[in-house]
Chains A and B, each alone.
Chain A
Amino acid sequence: MSAETARAGTVAATVVAATTPGSKLARRAGLAGKKLSSPWASLAAIIIAVVWTTPTVGLLVTSFRPEADIRTDGWWNVLAHPTFTLDNYQQAMFGNQTNFVGYFVNSLVITLPAVVIPISIALLAAYAFAWIDFRGRSLLFVAVFALQIVPIQVTLIPLLSQYVDWGIAGSFWTVWLSHTMFALPLAIFLLHNFMKDIPPALIEAARVDGAGHVQIFFRVLLPLLVPAIASFAIFQFLWVWNDLLVALTFAGGRPNVAPLTVRIAEMVGSRGSDWYLLSAGAFISMVVPVIVFLSLQRYFVRGLLAGSVKG
């Protein structure tokens, strides 16, 4: 999940939001009628679905097979001699050389602050851009918006030497700070768009009642923004949890900080044929993002729906 897809994803969601309300869908469903009557169409859809899922299923099955079986034949033979075990997971999680539990903790410790911090900073900035008038506001906003084009690669070497100068190299702070800074342009841009959609009358009414910026921010805006915040939080969570480049640059080779992605990428290089470890390790790293994605997928779209209806 990249910043680009996050931005476009929000556009897609707003398109959905704009079209779904009412009984339109039900009517359309009736209209559809013929759609999949062609067996060729069904076949094509099934082929794509199978091709897309088989690789994952293969590795998942493998992760539960005994090490010896994995070495002797392919996972598609599993029904010929079905033996399953949790040894691979046990070994991957607690084994001296792999210790995925430790890296799992690192991933968690990296991700949560790297989601909370940029969203808070971006909320404040987006509020100022949307509801406080000052000279040079649009210029500054365009500048922030334009910073979205800066590829992370351009910033890595100077940042690294800066962190070394400050004496924080190799600590969690480098990763937190970097993810925060990289997320800000998109976060400010998206949250600003949502804030702009809130009717000015609401803000005015609060202002007349004597509410200051802080009260307006917390009492009026924040509750309305929950869906928008949640949707960005999901994107940011997946992005940070799945990131390799930032973590490798700032925490590579440091078992006390490096997240799962770094460790797995390392193991593919050093123990590339130990599939009993790699398969289990890969799924240990995937389980959290997949759960987040599956459980919040609905909430995500519904939240955006609510946001656009209110706006």
Chain B
Amino acid sequence: MDGVSKYFKWLFGVIRDFLLKADTTGHKLVLMVVVIALFILVMGAILWLVDRSSRVPRWVVITGFLGPAVLALTFGLVYPGLRTIYSSLFNRNGSDYVGFDNYMRAFTEPQFQIVLRNTAVWVILVPVASTVIGLIYAVLVDRTRFERIAKTLVFMPMAISMVGASVIWKFVYEYRPTDRPQTGLLNQLLVWLGLDSRQFLLDQPQNTFFLIIVMVWIQTGFAMTVLSASIKAIPDDIIEAARLDGLSGVGMFRYITVPSIRPALVVVLTTIAMGTLKVFDIVRTMTGGNFSTSVVANEFYTQSFRYNDKGLGAALAVVLFVLVIPLVVYNIRQMRMVEEIR
């Protein structure tokens, strides 16, 4: 008996190590393949059990199809969400109930006032700038010979990570003293104009704007793609009629294009606003939230994981949650409209 239990203990240990301690490249790749195969096998088994005969009770069928999703969502979103709301009412290590103190701090302490101010600036500027530039560009290149390549160039930043984008732009902002040869493009432009070089990411408060540029650079491609699609969807007869009435160029843009794509414009604005509200990667990579550049999503991370203030971190996450709700609701309503028009 003892030998058998020892054997099982050993086997269990081996399996455990295989699943949890992938150290070498080979091991990792094998693990990846095994996990995918295992997963497909389990799903297949569920389906097979459900479908074995037509007399399987309905609830078994439904559980088989919906069970994994419901389980994952309950465990991964619903429970943690409620748990976070709960712990936002407790102190930094969750031992004492503090009521709404964490929220009070998040809204009144000077350092968090800056965070809230920055978040507001981001959420207003990024959607507006991206949408305006994206719209103008979409109209300019629409139905030209270079449309395809021109769009790909501007859309490309969407495909790369925000970390990668941050590295690209950090290099543009690179600082050297004025009398030294410059390596950052933006400072070189300043020096060529006879000005002094600057610490773009350090000088407050304008450094926030230089971070915002990175997000605009990423999101413009998205705005352009969606808006370009809806510009192409404007019915011919409207354009023809407007042309017969003598409209062209700016007039056409102002009185025909923009009103026709209004629902798409709203969708783009709110979608980008939602993404911007949660922006973390750019701030974290470029300044780490230092020099008064932090935003709510970054401050959540800093408080939760660097300062280990779980209560305050949870409160900031909840603030983020509450801020994003009206945007999502409005966004989904507008999206329904776009779909109905289709």
Instruction: Give the docked Cα–Cα distance between A270 and B7 (Å).
Output: 47
Instruction: Give the docked Cα–Cα distance between A70 and B182 (Å).
Output: 10
A125-B342 contact, Cβ under 8 Å, with A157-B314, A213-B61: no
- CB-CB nearest in chain B for A182: B76
Task: Determine whether the beta carbon of A11 is less than 8 Å from that of B159.
Answer: no
With contacts A125-B70, A212-B54 known, what are 10 further pairs, Cβ within 8 A?
A12-B225, A12-B229, A42-B140, A45-B141, A76-B185, A76-B188, A109-B22, A153-B278, A177-B76, A214-B51
Task: Determine whether the beta carbon of B156 is less than 8 Å from that of A290.
Answer: yes
Interface string of B40-80 (1 = CB under 8 A from A): 10010011101100100010011011101110110111111
* A residues in contact (CB < 8 Å) with B: 1-2, 4-5, 7-9, 11-16, 18-20, 24-25, 27-29, 31-32, 34-36, 38, 41-42, 44-45, 48-49, 52-56, 58-59, 62, 70-76, 102, 105-106, 108-109, 112-113, 116-117, 120-122, 124-125, 127-129, 132, 134, 140, 144, 147-159, 162, 167-168, 171-173, 176-178, 180-182, 184-185, 188, 212-215, 217, 238, 241-245, 248-249, 256, 261, 264-265, 268-269, 272, 275, 278-279, 281-282, 285-286, 289-290, 292-294, 297
Of A72, A150, A167, most buried by chain B (CB within 10 Å of CB) is A150
Q: Total interface residues on B, using CB and 8 Å?
A: 128
In this assembly, does B95 line the interface, its C-beta being within 8 Å of a C-beta of chain A? no
Task: Determine whether the beta carbon of B32 is less than 8 Å from that of A112.
Answer: yes
- CB-CB nearest in chain B for A178: B76
Question: Which of B23, B46, B240 contacts A31, CB < 8 Å?
Answer: B240
Task: Determine whether the beta carbon of A5 is less than 8 Å from that of B22.
Answer: no
Instruction: Give the docked Cα–Cα distance between A285 and B165 (Å).
Output: 11
Task: Determine whether the beta carbon of A36 is less than 8 Å from that of B185.
Answer: no
A269-B171 contact, Cβ under 8 Å, with A150-B321, A293-B159: no
Give every chain B residue within 8 A of A24 (Cβ-Cβ).
236
Task: Determine whether the beta carbon of B324 is less than 8 Å from that of A151.
Answer: yes
Task: Determine whether the beta carbon of B159 is less than 8 Å from that of A1.
Answer: yes
The 3 closest A-B pairs by CB, nearest first: A181-B76, A242-B161, A125-B69
- CB-CB nearest in chain B for A292: B159
Question: Which of B84, B281, B305 contacts A155, CB < 8 Å?
Answer: B84
In this assembly, does B239 line the interface, its C-beta being within 8 Å of a C-beta of chain A? yes
* B residues in contact (CB < 8 Å) with A: 19-23, 25, 28-29, 31-32, 35-36, 39-40, 43, 46-48, 50-51, 54, 58, 61-62, 64-66, 68-70, 72-73, 75-81, 83-85, 87, 133, 136-137, 140-144, 150, 152-154, 156-164, 166-172, 174, 181-185, 188, 217, 220, 222, 225-226, 229-230, 232-233, 236, 239-240, 243, 248-249, 264, 267-268, 271-272, 274-275, 278, 280-281, 284-286, 288, 297, 300-301, 304-305, 310, 313-314, 316-318, 320-321, 324-325, 328, 331, 335, 338-339, 342
A4-B271 contact, Cβ under 8 Å, with A15-B342, A181-B77, A286-B161: yes
Question: Which of B25, B66, B284, B317 contacts A154, CB < 8 Å?
Answer: B317
Q: How far is the CB of B103 from chain A (nearest CB, A)?
A: 15
Task: Determine whether the beta carbon of A74 is less than 8 Å from that of B143.
Answer: no
Task: Determine whether the beta carbon of B161 is less than 8 Å from that of A31.
Answer: no
Task: Determine whether the beta carbon of B28 is less than 8 Å from that of A150.
Answer: no
Interface CB pairs A-B, < 8 A, 30: A4-B271, A12-B230, A19-B232, A31-B240, A32-B143, A36-B140, A44-B140, A52-B220, A53-B153, A55-B217, A56-B157, A109-B28, A112-B32, A113-B35, A124-B68, A150-B77, A150-B81, A158-B80, A171-B19, A171-B22, A181-B75, A188-B69, A242-B164, A244-B161, A244-B163, A261-B281, A264-B164, A275-B174, A279-B171, A285-B160
Task: Determine whether the beta carbon of B275 is less than 8 Å from that of A5.
Answer: yes
Task: Determine whether the beta carbon of B39 is less than 8 Å from that of A120.
Answer: yes
- CB-CB nearest in chain B for A127: B65
- CB-CB nearest in chain B for A117: B39
Question: Which of A1, A173, A256, A294 contacts B19, CB < 8 Å?
Answer: A173
- CB-CB nearest in chain B for A102: B25
Of A2, A151, A241, A256, most buried by chain B (CB within 10 Å of CB) is A151
A158-B167 contact, Cβ under 8 Å, with A53-B153, A213-B50: no
Task: Determine whether the beta carbon of A180 is less than 8 Å from that of B28.
Answer: no
- CB-CB nearest in chain B for A168: B20
- CB-CB nearest in chain A for B268: A8
Question: Which of B29, B50, B185, B229 contacts A15, CB < 8 Å?
Answer: B229
Q: How far is the CB of A237 from chain B (nearest CB, A)?
A: 10
Q: How far is the CB of B98 from chain A (nearest CB, A)?
A: 16
Task: Determine whether the beta carbon of A5 is less than 8 Å from that of B167.
Answer: no
Task: Determine whether the beta carbon of B77 is less than 8 Å from that of A185.
Answer: yes
A134-B143 contact, Cβ under 8 Å, with A125-B68, A148-B328, A214-B50: no
Task: Determine whether the beta carbon of B226 is less than 8 Å from that of A9.
Answer: yes
Task: Determine whether the beta carbon of A48 is less than 8 Å from that of B168.
Answer: no
Give every chain A residue within 8 A of B140 (Cβ-Cβ).
36, 41-42, 44-45, 48
Task: Determine whether the beta carbon of A5 is less than 8 Å from that of B158.
Answer: yes
Give every chain A residue within 8 A of B58 (Cβ-Cβ).
134
Task: Determine whether the beta carbon of B226 is less than 8 Å from that of A116.
Answer: no
Question: Which of B66, B75, B248 contacts A124, CB < 8 Å?
Answer: B66
Question: Which of A35, A59, A76 contacts B144, CB < 8 Å?
Answer: A35
